[in-house]
Chains A and B, each alone.
Chain A
Amino acid sequence: MFQYDFMQHAFIAGTLVALMCGVIGVFVIARSLSFIAHTFSHIGFAGASFAVYVGMDPLGGLLLFTLLSALGIGQLGVKMFRRDASVSVVLSLFLGLGILFLSLSDKQANFTETILFGSVVGIDMQDVWQIVGLTAAVILILAAGYRWLKFDSFDQIGAEAAGLPIRWISIGFLLLMALAVSVTVQIVGALLVFALMTVPAAAARCFSQSIFGMIVISSILAVLGVWFGLSMSFYTNAPVSFFITSFEAAAYFIGIAYRYWLARRRVPGYQR
C-alpha cells in the first residue's frame, strides 16, 4: 500500500498526530479536560465551516476558532467549563453555527464529511508539512514545559504552594490543546477527536503507575491505532476512524480487564 503517495502522506501525518495526542492526552485526562477537548473539536468544526464559507483555508478557521475559545475559557476559568451544562451549551451552539456556515457555502457534502468524520486520502504534501510543523511545535512545548505542567496537573495545590503561575499554565495548556485539536480534527474528524486524544491515555492509565510510563504507553497505543486504522481501511474501504476507535476501545477494555486481574492477584505493592 505504500506505493501510493496518499498512503505515505497519511502514515506520516497520522503517526505524528497520534504521537502528539498520546502525549497531550495524558495531561488532558489528568486535568479532567476531556470534555473541553471534545468541545474544542466542535468549535473547530464551526471554524472550518466558517473558513470555507469565507473562502479561507479550513485549518486557518480551525485554529482561529479554537485558539480564541481557549483564551476565552482560560479567562473565565476552566472550573466553570467542567460543568456539563456549560459544555453542552457551548458545544451545541458551535455545532449549530457550523451547520449554518456550511449551508451558506456551496461546496457542502464532501467537506462536511471530511471535517466531521475525518479523511486521510486527501492529504497532500503541503498538508503534511503543516502537520509536521504543528505537531512538532506542540510536542516541543510540552517537553519544555513538562515539569511545570506535571506539577500543576497532578498536584495543583502543591504547585500553587510552590509559587508556580498556575493560571498561566492553565491558559497555556488550553492553547496547546486547541492547537492539537485543530490538527487532529483533520485526521479523525471533529466527532472523534476523543478517540485519539483521550482514549489511549485512559487506557494507558490501566497499564502504568507512573506518568512517564503512561505517556509512553499512551503514545504507542495511539500510533498503533492509527497504523491499524490506515491499513485496515486501505484493504477494506471501511472508514479509518472506525478502525481507530475500535482499536483504542479494545485497548481500553483490555486495560480494565488487566487491572481487574491484577487486583485479584494482589501483586505486592499494588493493593486494590
Chain B
Amino acid sequence: MLRHIRVNDLQVSFNGEEILNHVSFDVAGGEMFAIIGPNGAGKSTLLKVILGLIKPLGGKVSFENDNRKTVIGYVPQSRTIDEETPILAKDFVSLGLPARAVPWLSARERVTVQKAMMMTECLHLADKPIGKLSGGERQRIFIAQAMVRQPDVLLLDESTANLDPNAQEQMMQLVQRLCRKHGITVIFISHDLHVVKEYADRVLFMSRGHYEIGNSDEVLNGKATEWLYHATDEEKPKTIGLFREPAGQLTDHLF
C-alpha cells in the first residue's frame, strides 16, 4: 500500500526560467489531492516531475510504499486523437498494458482490460472507434488506459476540461470512487474551483514561485476565484504577497 508521496524541494527551470521554485509537500496515500493555479504556473510540469518524465534540477520525489514499487497512472493534459484514428476503444485501453514481446493479448490481459473499463464505466464503448467518441467518453477511455497498469497513484491533468457540467460531475464521481473504493491516491489538476471544492481533500495552489497548501476551504474562497481569473498582471504581484504569509495564518490574512 502506498503511504506517502513526498515532494521535497523541487526545482525546475526551462531555459533559465524558474518554473518550480523549491516546492515541497506531502500527499497521503488514498487522498484526493488537487492542484490549482493560473495557466503556465507549472502544474503540468509538477506532475511530469512526479512521474519521472522531467528530471528536476534539485530536490526529489519519493514514494513510501509497503510492498512494491509504486505504479503511476497518468492521464496527460492534451491528446490529439484524429477522428479517423482506426483504433477501437478497447484496443486503445490495452495499449497501456505493460508491453511484452508478443503481438497478441493473453486471456489474463483481456480480463485486466475489461476490468479497467468496468471500473471507469466505459465497457459499453469497447467496440467503438476512439475517434468517434465524445470528449467525455474519451476521457473515460484515457483513465481506463492508465488504470490498466493497476496503479497506486493516478495523476489527472485537467481531465474535466471541456466537459459539460453534468459530465464533469460524473467524471469526478468516478474518480472519487476509484479513490475511496479502490484506495488509489489521486492527484488532479483542475481550473474548475467548484470541482476542487467539492472533491478535493486538500488543495495546492501554485503560481510561479508561490505555493499554498491546505484544505479546500482554506485555499479557496470567493476572493481566490477572483484572483485566479480576474486579476490583471499588474495586480498579481501584490496579491501574491499575501500568499507568502506562513501557512496557518493564511486564512486570517488572505485578501
Contacts and interface: CB of A to CB of B under 8 A. Distances in A.
Contacts of A271: 132
B128 A269 contact: yes
A211 interface: yes
A68 interface: no
A109 interface: no
A146 interface: yes
Interface string B96-128: 110111110000000000000000000000011
B95 A157 contact: no
Interface string B56-83: 0000000000000000001110111100
Contact of B99 (A147, A208, A210): A147
A165 to B, nearest CB: 11
B49 to A, nearest CB: 13
A85 interface: no
Contact of B103 (A147, A163, A208, A269): A147
Nearest to A160: B53
Contacts of A249: none
A155 B99 contact: no
A154 interface: yes
Interface residues of B, number: 32
B51 A161 contact: yes
Most buried by A among B79, B84, B87, B97: B87
B99 A148 contact: yes
B155 to A, nearest CB: 9
A76 interface: no
Nearest to B79: A157
B95 A150 contact: yes
A145 interface: yes
Name which of A148, A209, A210 has the most chain B CB atoms within 10 A of its CB: A209
Nearest first, the 4 closest Cβ-Cβ pairs linking A and B are: A146-B103, A147-B99, A151-B95, A144-B101
Interface of B: 51-53, 74-76, 78-81, 84-88, 91-92, 95-97, 99-103, 127-129, 132, 142, 145, 149
Given A147-B101, A158-B145, 14 more contacts: A145-B101, A147-B95, A147-B102, A151-B95, A154-B85, A155-B92, A157-B80, A158-B96, A161-B51, A162-B96, A211-B86, A211-B87, A270-B129, A272-B132
Interface of A: 143-148, 150-151, 154-155, 157-164, 205, 208-211, 214, 269-272
